[in-house]
Amino acid sequence: MKISRKERFFSTLLVTVAAILVTAVLVTWALKPASNQFPHETPDDSSSFTSQTTSSSPTTSTPTESQESETTTVAPTTEATQSSIKSTTASSSKSSARKPKIKNAVALTFDDGPTKHTARLLDALKKHNAKATFFLLGKNVAGNKALIQRMIDEGHEVANHSYSHPDLRNLSDAEVLSQLRKTNDAIAAITGEKPKLMRPPYGAFNRRVTGLAKQEGLALICWTPSPNDWKYQDVDYVYNYILKHVKAGSTLLLHDTYKTSVDAVIKAIPVLAKRGLTFVTVSELYDLEPGDVHPASWAR
C-alpha cells in the first residue's frame, strides 16, 4: 500500500507532537522536586512544610514561613519559572552542598532594627556569649550609631535589609541598587566595613535581584526556621517554637521590633545552650560568596 505525501506528513506531525509531549512530561517530572521546595527552608523540613502552608492558627506549631512581614504577601513565581531559574542559577547548585562550618551552632538573625528593644537584646546576648546577625534597615541606621558600633564591638554581624523595606522585585535595577548601596554606605560609615550579607524584605527576590546584590558584593540570606513572630506576638508561642524547631545549622529569623520576640529569644538562649548549641553569626556558620542564596532551598 502506497502512503501518500499527505499521510506521511500527518504521521510525521503526530510523531513530533507525541515526542514533544513526552519530553514536556519528563521535564516537568524531573524539575518537580525543585519547584516543590519553594519556599520552605531545609530539605528535611519539607514534610512539615506541606502542612504549614494550610495552617494559620497560632496553636499550630509550624505556621507558614513564606513571608517575612504581614504587610506584603510574597507572590511566588510560577513553578515553571522557578524551575528554569533554578536549573540555570550556578549559585543554587553550589549552595545546595553548603554545610555549616561549625558543629552544633545556630545563627540567630534579627530584622528591621535597630529598635528600642535592641540594647536589651544585646545585653542578653553578651551575658550568654551569643553572637547574632542584625539585618538593619538603612533608614534606621542614622541615630543608632552607638548601638551599631556596639554590635560590631561585641562580635555580632551587621547586615543589609534594604533602606526602606520595599519588595525589591517591584523596583527598577537603579532603585534596587540604591536601596542596597544607601544601606551599605550608612553601615560602612559607622563600622568601616560594608556588609557582606543582605536579606530581601519579605524574603521576596528573583534572579535579577540576586544579580544586583552580587554586584554589590552581597549574598542573599533567607531563613530556616521562623515562628512568624510578626504575626504571633506571643512570648510563649515564639519561645516554644524556637525550642521545637531550632537545631544545629539553623538560621532563625526574628524581629527585634517586637518585645515579645526579644523576650522569647532571651528565654530560649540558655535552654538551647544547655542542649549544647552555640550561637554564631551567619558568616561564621556558612561560607558565602556574593550572589549566593542561603538556605539553598530558597534559590530561584
Closest CA to 134 of 155, 159, 103: 159
Q: Is 192 left (phi over 0), alpha (psi -120 to 50) or beta?
A: left
Count of positions on this chain that bind Zn ion (CB under 5 A): 3
Residue 43: cis peptide before it, omega within 30 degrees of 0? no
Q: Is the dihedral of CA 254, 65, 211, 250 positive or negative?
A: positive
Residues 253-272 that bind Zn ion (CB under 5 A): none
Cβ distance to Zn ion smaller for residue 159 or 277:
159
- Taking the complex as a whole, the smallest distance from the CB of residue 165 to Zn ion amounts, in Å, to 6
- Taking the complex as a whole, the smallest distance from the CB of residue 116 to Zn ion amounts, in Å, to 17
- Taking the complex as a whole, the smallest distance from the CB of residue 235 to Zn ion amounts, in Å, to 20
**3 state SS of 31:** helix
CA distances from 252 to 1, 13, 31 (A): 72, 54, 28
Tell me which of 111, 167, 256, 263 is the catalytic residue.
111
Closest CA to 183 of 211, 142, 131, 146: 142
Q: Which residue is nearest to Zn ion (CB)?
A: 111
Can residue 229 be called a binding residue for Zn ion (CB under 5 A)?
A: no
Residues 18-47 that bind Zn ion (CB under 5 A): none
Cβ distance to Zn ion smaller for residue 162 or 283:
162
- Taking the complex as a whole, the smallest distance from the CB of residue 252 to Zn ion amounts, in Å, to 14
CA distances from 211 to 177, 203, 217, 218 (A): 10, 15, 10, 9
Q: Mark whether 229 is an active-site residue.
A: no
Q: Mark whether 255 is an active-site residue.
A: yes
Cβ distance to Zn ion smaller for residue 156 or 165:
165
- What are 224's strand-pairing partners? 251
Site track 186-225 with Zn ion (rule: CB under 5 A), x = hit: ---------------x------------------------
Site track 97-116 with Zn ion (rule: CB under 5 A), x = hit: --------------xx----
Contacts of residue 26, Cβ cutoff 8 Å, sequence gap at least 6: none
- Taking the complex as a whole, the smallest distance from the CB of residue 129 to Zn ion amounts, in Å, to 27
Interface ranges with Zn ion (CB under 5 A)? 111-112, 201
Report the catalytic residues.
111, 255
